[in-house]
Each structure stands twice: as structure tokens, then as C-alpha cells.
Amino acid sequence: MMLISAAMTLVVGHELQSAEPKEEKQRLRKEKKQHKKNKKDDRGPPEKEKEKEKASVPAPSKPATQSPAHKAAPVPVNASASESPVAAEKPAKSKAELRAERRARQDSERASKQGKKEGGQQSTSSKPKATPNELQPVVKRLPDHVQVDDPVALKKLAKKLERQQKSGQGCSLNITGVKVPLRSDYGYKVSLFSHLHQYSRKNPPTQQISIPVTVIHPSIVRLGLQYSQGIIAGSNARSVALLHAFKQVIQDYSTPPNEELSRDLVNKLSPYISFLSQCRPLSASMGNAIKYIKKEISNIPSQCKEEEAKRILQECIDSYINEKIILASEAISKYAIEKISDGDVILVYGCSSLVNHILCEAFEKQRKFRVIVVDSRPRLEGREALRRLVKKGIRCTYVLISALSYILPEVSKVFLGAHALLANGYVMSRVGTSQIALVAKAYNVPVLVCCETYKFCERVQTDSFVSNELDDPDDLIVTRNGKTHLENWQTVKSLGLLNLVYDVTPPDFVDLVITDLGMIPCTSVPVVLRVKNVDQ
Amino acid sequence: NVDKNKLVEYFRAQIREDPDVASAVAAIRSLLEFLKRDQSETILGLRENMTKAIQRLEETDSSVAVSSGGELFLRFISLTSLEHPDLSQCKNVMIERGELFLKKISLSRGKVGKLCHTFIKDGAKILTHSSSRVVLKVLENAAADNKRFTVYVTESQPDSAGKLMAQKLHNLNIPVTVVLDAAVGYIMEKVDLVIVGAEGVVESGGVINKIGTYQMAVCSKAHNKPFYVVAESFKFVRLYPLNQQDVPDRFKYKADILKTVKDLNQEHPMIDYTPPSLITLLFTDLGVLTPSAVSDELIKLYL
């Protein structure tokens, strides 16, 4: 029977605990889910809804009340409770039943086993049981977006998206409705990056959504499409667009009865954020903006009227955009202009809104300099930067990144933009940036990175592999002289096209970081993060 | 303006009376005296007068230390709640804080000396550049600790300050040899460590010091010898030079030359900039710091 096999695997699992804990836990979880499915078929869905409400309260207390004598049972339960945050939503009644039966069976199994084995072996096997108990809550999970090659993690993500749709609908019984779509990967992925998603622009995430959209606000759908098709690109642009879309969402929001705005609105935003991350992985700046909004929403006092609360939130968002993006770029320009002297030859890469702003301001302040714009395929963003600078009247030269070492002896300074600044001083920016910094260092040319403080993030990364973004591989296909060589790249089994979006530059290659707080060396980023946290 | 001239007189008198005092300390003493005699009616007026006084002192002595010391002094005295309705009360608070600041920095050289002399081992051969009162204090402390060591000093043209340093060391009974500026590469293999002073410590963790320091730092890096800098904390300045030519002109040349000479390209600069990658450790009265920790301290001091 199911339960006996589950119990058997439990006992066996503990002896193998030190050897293969992860697979055992996965198997155990599968058994539990199967068991629950059987129970589900016995009862109807409405009962399950009622149980969910009850379950969410008693479930968290369950792990606390485990008696220490039955060490075996709490270990897999704690594992599932701490590792899958959705465990609390599963019906606890069947869990309790299952646990009780399992306990009974385990006692009998253990009694029979004890007779066979020596006492010493039992105590050593109970020791590994004890320590995982304490270690269990400390184990950290990898974020979902870097676990694409793990099928279990993908299934969990799919379930989470489904569940978000359900919670958005409240107590409605309509299960077959609109889902937050799970986008499928496209094409062969290079094995080093198989843990990341690779989507195609020809399969937009909205294909699986029916019209009219009930769960996701239309401005968020529009925003998601703009992200996935590359219409809105660039760290600042994406954050500002996100904040404007959230303003619209808050405007159209109405608190359901018996709900508090501060709690319900945050829950409403979660499926939107999942949808947006399916369209295009969130950037560090967007992550910080979302954290700020969620904090502001949960700080709304409960006696506040809805109109008043909405007005406060709109004001918060407006002031965030104004302070952290617009005013910050003014402050950064002020510092950066001190570093631009007459006769300078400045090298820029790609199109950074901040660097373009600095150069335009410096030109207006009558500094004499000329600019070399370095560009690279497939995005060719440098052309946009070139267009903006030439329109102002600045003398520009345009090269591709392959000509970098040819042009560098002429250059006196390099100005780079950043997508995010990591806590260990590494700079995450458009792919190609670290190459420019490396060659500039070899030629002893100072490298200046310009970055607002809202892009500083607590993450630590030392290479470009662990967390990155893969763009549409079809972008690398180009037609020249009527011939498109890579057209049928998918038919060649051993061929993979890699279109990376970001890379990471070590702090030794960066001479100076200009932020709205002033000019700091790259190694002082954690100091700024610390000062910011103290302020908040 | 009569006040300003009196200020400069006072400053010069301070340096004359006590040649051993750091120029920044003398400047701050003069500023404190100026504050006491100031007649302005508002706090804003007071601040303006102080800023002008600092500028006047910078014109007299163009070293980085005077500029940084002055700015820190101004920040220290005004970074307190000046909410008293009465101006004279505010002024008293400012004067009190000024005295406190002065006392603190007068002791800083002693603190640095105490910290650094433990890094000098028995039998060490030390190389130093030009004449620095802080390095002298460090070597004095080490000698008082009954350590045996020899010192090589560079001549340090164009003002031959190295010879002055050699004389002072000779008076302390420390064996000393004067070498040419050009002989730094030659002597580097013989020495165990290099200790220099600083005129200013910049935000990146680099230092501004007498011309020839950068050369010495590059040589010591090539020979893998530790390069130590000793500096008091009032020398920390909010500059961030990217390379040699990024250092502002007002620090590079002596004050009288800046006023009289038309074409600065014909003049030789008196200081150079040593980037933080060449410095092993900095000894300050705030403790022993790595170059990247200097920015940390600066943020604490200024923000």
C-alpha cells in the first residue's frame, strides 16, 4: 500500500540521509502529493477551499508541536515546510492524518529494525537525523530563474503561477480560467548556460492569455509585451515604465470587502510581477523599485481611506522617480563634468541614458571634447547614442568593438554606464563592457562608471555565468549579399547560438564610480549600501 | 582685509615659533584665532568669512594639508546643532568645538608614531623620501624602543629637503645615508621597507606627496618591498585624481609661483600623485588602514 511504501522509504531515506538527501526528499514529496491527490478525488473542491482557510492557520503551528521523540517524521515535514513556502496552503487535515499513520508505522518498523541492527549503528543514524533538523531552516534556495535545467523547480514554478491566478480570483470556483503563462524555452542552449531561460521573440508570452484578461491588468500586459519585444530597453527606462504602470494599477484598484488595502494590494501585485518576469527577467533596478513600493503599500495605516491611500501611493512613486532617477542624474552630471577637461577624447560604449546626459550637459557647459562611440552586434545600441550626441553637435567617431585596441591609444577617458553594482564591487553591465574595461586598463586609460544608487544591489557575483540573461538566438542571424548563412541553425545538432545580454566587470579595472552620493572607488559600494540601509 | 593680513601674519608667526608644527595645525590655530576675533552678526556671515579666510591661507601656503585641514575644521565646528537664538552663544559653541578639534589633531602625530614603529624590525633598512616630520616621529619612537636600523634618504631636489632630514636623524644618533633621487632603483634591492609621509590623502586611497614619491612607489612594487605611508587624519581631502595631470594646479606649485608666473608649463611641479594600487598600508591616527578603507573613513568624516 502507498503508506507502507512511504514509511519504508522514510526509514531507508534516513540511513542514506548523508548520501543523497535531495533525491530522497523529492521522492518523499512526490509520494505525499500522490497521496493528497487520492484524497482530493474522494472529496469535492468546495471542501478543499474551506480546508485551505483552516489549514493556513494550523499548518504553521504543526511543525512547532512535533515531539522530539519522533525525529523521523518532522525531518521531511520540516524540509517541505521550509523549502516550499506553498506548503502551508496544502490541506493540513490530510497532512496530519498522513503524519499520524506514518508515525505509527515507523514505530513498528523501527522496533523490528532495532532487533536486527546493533545499537551503535542506530545512534549514528539518529545523529544525522538530529543535525539536519537544525540545519533544515538555514538551507537557502536558488532563485527560480537560475534553475531552468532542474525539472522539479520548473514544475514548482508552474504550480506557483497557477496558484497565483487562483488567489487573484479570491473565492471564485472558476479554476479553468486565465493563467499567468509559463513561457517555454526556445532552441538549443549552450550547456554552460542551460540553467537560464532562452525565449524567442516570435512566441510572445501573451499567446496563451485569452482576451479579455481578467487577472492581469492591461497596462501590465502592455508593459510585459514591450519588455519582451525589446521596445523598452535600458535599465532606467524599464524602471520608469514599471513605476508608471504600477501607478495605473493603483489608480484602477478597488479594495474588495473585508480586505485591507495594505495587504490585498501587495497580493494583487504578485501575479503581475511573475508575469513581468516571465516576459523578461527583472533587472536589479526594477527589483529595488518593487521592494520600495511593497514597503510603502504595507506602511499605509489601516484607518486610511481608499482615496487617500491611493493618493499617498501615487505621490510616493512620483517622488521615487524624481529623486532616484531624475535628480540623481543631475547630481551625477555635476560630479562628472569636473572630470571632463578641455581636449579630452572620451570613449563610450552602447547607449546609456546617464552617460549621454552627462556628455550633453558637459557640451552645454562649453567643455571642448570629442567622443568615440563603440558599438557591437546584435543590438547595435551605439547607433542610438550616436544619433543623440550628433544631434547636440558633439564631434563623434563610431567604431565596432573589434577595433577597440586600434582606437584606444587616442582615448583619454572611458565613461561606462551600469545595469547594477554588486555588493562586492563588481559592475554588471551590457555584454562587452568588461572587455572595454580590460583593454583600457592595459593601455592605462582611466575607466569611470556612472551609476545611480538605486541600482546598487546586495547580490554578489564573481563571474558572468551564474546569473545572466539569454536573448533570442535568432538575433544573431544576419543577411549579407543575399545570403543568410545561419538560417537553419536549428537543424545542425551540434550548433548553438549564444546571445548573452550582461557581463560582470571586476573592480580592479574600474578607477572611479560616480554616484549621486559623490565619487567613490569601486570597493566602497558596500559602504554606500550600509549607509543607505541605516537611512531607511 | 586688514583682518586677512593679520591672519596671515599670525599664521607665519606660528610657523616661525614652532618649526616642528604641521602647517595644517598652524593654519587651524590661526583660523580659531580669527573666529574668536570675528565681528559678523549672522552665522551665514561667519561661515562666509571663515571660507574666505581659508582661501587666503591657501594662497599663502599652497599645500594640500592646509586646504584639507581648513575644510575639516569648518565642518567640525559647524556640524553641530546651532539652534541657540543668541549668536554669541553659538559662537562660543563653535569656539569650544574648535579648541577640541585643535587638541585632537595636535596629538595625532604622536598617535601615528606609536602605531607605526612596531612595523620596524630590528636590523631593518628603511628608505624614505624628502623631509617629513611624521616619519621623523616614527623613527624617533622606534629608536627610543631600542631598535637598531639604518635609514636611506633621498636628496629630494629642487629644495634638497632630504639633507635637512639627514641632519635631524643624525642628531638622533640613527645611521643615515643620503642618496640621489636617481639612485632609488639602485638602492631598492638593499632596503627592507619604504616609509614616506604625505601632504594629502585622496579619496581613492592614493597619496599626494613630494615629487619623486610615485617613482619610489613603482620601484618598490617592482621589487615587492612594502610601501608604507604615514599621515594624520586631517590630511584626508575630497579629491579624486585619475592620473598625474588630474591633480589641480593650485596644489602642484608653490603659492608665490602661482601668483607671479604666467606660463605654468615652464615650471616644475612640486608634488605628484601615487595611486592606491602601489601602497601597502596607511598609518593614520584613525588606525592602520588599507587604501580601500580610506574611502570608508572619508565617507564617515564628510557625510
All 3 cell numbers of residue A199? 525565449
**B93 — pLDDT class (breaks 50, 70, 90):** confident
Say how far apart CA A136 and CA A528 lie, in whole Å.
33
Query: Taking CA atoms, what residue in B is nearest to A414?
Result: B242
Residue pLDDT, tens place only, A98-125:
777 777 787 777 777 765 554 444 444 4
**What count of CB pairs under 8 Å joins A to B?**
37
Task: Write out chain B residues lying below 8 Å of A531, CB-based.
Answer: 299, 303
Give the 3-state secondary structure of residue A96: helix
β-bridge mates for residue B153, sequence order: B128, B178
Mutation for B interface: A411, A519, A532, A535, most B CBs within 10 A? A519
Task: Write out chain A residues lying below 8 Å of B248, CB-based.
Answer: none
β-bridge mates for residue B195, sequence order: B228
- Put simply, whether A512 touches B (Cβ < 8 Å) is yes
Which of A84-98, B13-27, B148-162 has the highest average model confidence (pLDDT)? B148-162
- Helix orientation angle between B291-302 and A525-535, rounded to the nearest 10 degrees: 30
pLDDT, residue B32, reads 85
pLDDT above 80: residue A66 = no
All 3 cell numbers of residue A407? 582606437
Which of B57-61, B86-90, B252-256, B289-293 has the highest average model confidence (pLDDT)? B289-293
**A258 — pLDDT class (breaks 50, 70, 90):** confident
pLDDT above 90: residue B226 = yes
Say how far apart CA B287 and CA B284 lie, in whole Å.
5
Mutation for B interface: A341, A447, A524, A534, most B CBs within 10 A? A524
pLDDT above 60: residue B114 = yes
pLDDT above 60: residue A61 = no
- Helix orientation angle between B108-116 and B133-144, rounded to the nearest 10 degrees: 50
Say how far apart CA A293 and CA A285 lie, in whole Å.
13
**Average pLDDT, integer, range A226-242:** 92
Is the separation of the CB atoms in A422 and A486 below 8 Å?
no
- Put simply, whether B256 touches A (Cβ < 8 Å) is no
**Average pLDDT, integer, range B6-25:** 83
pLDDT, residue A116, reads 58
Beta-carbon separation of B295 and A527 below 8 A: yes
pLDDT above 90: residue B281 = yes
Percentages helix, strand, coil for chain A, rounded to the nearest 5? 60, 10, 30
Q: ∠ at Cα A496 (A493, A502), nearest 5°?
A: 165
Beta-carbon separation of A511 and B204 below 8 A: yes
Task: Write out chain A residues lying below 8 Å of B292, CB-based.
Answer: 521, 523-524
- Put simply, whether B276 touches A (Cβ < 8 Å) is yes
pLDDT above 70: residue A223 = yes
pLDDT, residue A43, reads 57
Task: Write out chain A residues lying below 8 Å of B240, CB-based.
Answer: 512, 519
Lowest mean pLDDT among A59-73, A221-235, A441-455: A59-73
Say how far apart CA A261 and CA A267 lie, in whole Å.
10
pLDDT above 50: residue A381 = yes
Residue pLDDT, tens place only, A18-34:
445 667 777 777 777 77
**A64 — pLDDT class (breaks 50, 70, 90):** very low
For chain B, percent of residues with pLDDT exceeding 70: 97
Query: Taking CA atoms, what residue in A is nearest to B297?
Result: A527
Say how far apart CA B226 and CA B281 lie, in whole Å.
8
pLDDT, residue A380, reads 92
Residues 6+ apart with CB under 8 A from A377: A400, A476, A478
pLDDT above 60: residue B48 = yes
**Average pLDDT, integer, range A382-390:** 95
Q: Quote the ipTM score.
A: 0.81
Is the separation of the CB atoms in A359 and A480 below 8 Å?
no
> Which comes out higher in pLDDT, residue B23 or A145?
B23
Looking at residue A198, what DSSP letter applies?
B
Q: Is the peptide bond before A181 cis (omega within 30 degrees of 0)?
A: no
Task: Write out chain B residues lying below 8 Å of A523, CB-based.
Answer: 292, 295
- Put simply, whether B186 touches A (Cβ < 8 Å) is no
Residues 6+ apart with CB under 8 A from B236: B68, B72, B200, B201, B294, B297, B298, B301
Q: Which of A518, A521, A531 sits opposite B205 (nearest CB)?
A: A521
- Put simply, whether A244 touches B (Cβ < 8 Å) is no
Beta-carbon separation of A521 and B203 below 8 A: yes
β-bridge mates for residue A447, sequence order: A414
* φ, ψ at B193 (rounded to 5°): -150, 160
- Put simply, whether A339 touches B (Cβ < 8 Å) is yes
> Which comes out higher in pLDDT, residue A368 or A96?
A368
- Put simply, whether B280 touches A (Cβ < 8 Å) is no
Q: Which of B246, B276, B296 sits opposite A527 (nearest CB)?
A: B296
**Average pLDDT, integer, range A66-94:** 43
- Put simply, whether A460 touches B (Cβ < 8 Å) is no
**Average pLDDT, integer, range A269-287:** 90
pLDDT, residue A62, reads 42
Say how far apart CA B117 and CA B121 lie, in whole Å.
9
**Average pLDDT, integer, range A410-425:** 94
Backbone φ/ψ region at A313: left (φ over 0), alpha (ψ -120 to 50), beta: alpha
Is the separation of the CB atoms in A41 and A49 below 8 Å?
no
Which of A124-128, A212-216, A404-408, A469-473 has the highest average model confidence (pLDDT)? A404-408
**A165 — pLDDT class (breaks 50, 70, 90):** low
- Put simply, whether B249 touches A (Cβ < 8 Å) is no
Q: ∠ at Cα A50 (A45, A56), nearest 5°?
A: 120
Residues in chain B: 303
Half-sphere exposure in the Cβ direction for A452 (13 Å, CA)? 29
Beta-carbon separation of A413 and B242 below 8 A: yes
SS (H, E, C) A313-346: HHHHHHHHHHHHHHHHHHHHHHHHHHCCCCCEEE
Looking at residue A84, what DSSP letter applies?
-
Say how far apart CA A262 and CA A87 lie, in whole Å.
24
| Cα of B170 vs its chain's centroid, Å | 23
Lowest mean pLDDT among A182-191, A325-334, B80-89, B190-199: B80-89
CA distances from residue A447 to A66, A248, A331 in whole angstroms, order as listed: 58, 40, 19
pTM (two decimals)? 0.76
**Average pLDDT, integer, range A301-317:** 90
